[in-house]
Structure 1
């Protein structure tokens, strides 16, 4: 199937498919006589796997490792579980950081009159903090 068909079948844009190919996340697609990419069923399955992994926030490097583990029928599941748990811990840390940012902004917005006066605790806080 060509890149447009692969894109439609996987939900991965043609631009991202070319990117994944350029960084080695997927193998280079076979080429037709007219030099169009020709994606196999394996390529499409890989793209679906990548899309799902990206949707869960895994990095390209992590997905490279996950793809390798997925293809290895003899792999121990403990490595995959370890990667997933590390990713969850990183997500939890990011969530806590973002919650703290939201709490800070909520407090600053509550202190701001939001009227015609130039006084603004939000801007004052931004200017005061490194």
Structure 2
């Protein structure tokens, strides 16, 4: 099938498929006599695998590792588990960081009076290196 067919079947954009080929996540496809890329059903499955990995937040390097694990029947599922658990730990850390960011933004926006720009608590919080607004100086939340 042509790249447009592989893109439709996998849900990947054409340029994304070409990018995956350039970075080595996808093997170089066979070419037709006229030079068009020719994809097999296995290529579409691999594209879906990569896309699903991206949906789950895996980096391209993590997906590269998962593909190696997927492609080698001699490797243990334990290796996959280690990678997935490390990724899950990273996700939880990002969730914690995002929660802290949300709390800080909620705090500074709650203090915003919508008045004069020179008294804007949001801008003041962004100017301060310690993140504390002038109203909360000395008492961080």
For this structure pair, what is the TM-score category when the shorter chain's length is used for normalisation? Answer: over 0.9
Task: Give me the whole-angstrom Cα distance separating, in 2, the residues matched to 1:86 and 1:16.
Answer: 26
Following superposition, the deviation at residue 49 of structure 1 comes to: 0.5
The equivalent residue for 1:41 is 41
Q: Deviations over 1:18-50 (max 9, x none)?
A: 000000011001111111110011111110100
Aligned position for 2:95: 95
Q: Mind listing any 5+ residue stretches in structure 1 that lack a counterpart?
A: none
The runs of at least 4 aligned residues of structure 1 exceeding 4 Å deviation read: none
User: Higher relative contact order by CA 8 Å / sep ≥ 6: 1 or 2?
Assistant: 1
**Distance apart, 1:71 and its partner CA:** 1.2
Q: Which string of whole-angstrom CA distances, capped at 9 and with x for unpartnered residues, describes residues 56-90 of structure 1?
A: 01111111110111111121111100000000000
The answer for the alignment partner of 2:136 in structure 1 is: none
Per-residue CA deviation, residues 71-110 of structure 1 (Å, 9 max, x unaligned), is 1112111110000000000000001001100100000000
Question: Larger C-alpha radius of gyration, 1 or 2?
Answer: 2
> Aligned partners of 2:109 and 2:10: how far apart in 1?
42
**What is the aligned residue count?**
129
User: Which residue is 1:8 aligned to?
Assistant: 8
Q: Is the aligned partner of 1:30 residue 2:26?
A: no
Corresponding residue SS for 2:20: helix
- Structure 2 CA distance, aligned partners of 1:73 and 1:41? 20
CA distance in 1, matches of 2:125, 2:65: 43
Gaps of 5+ in 2: 131-141
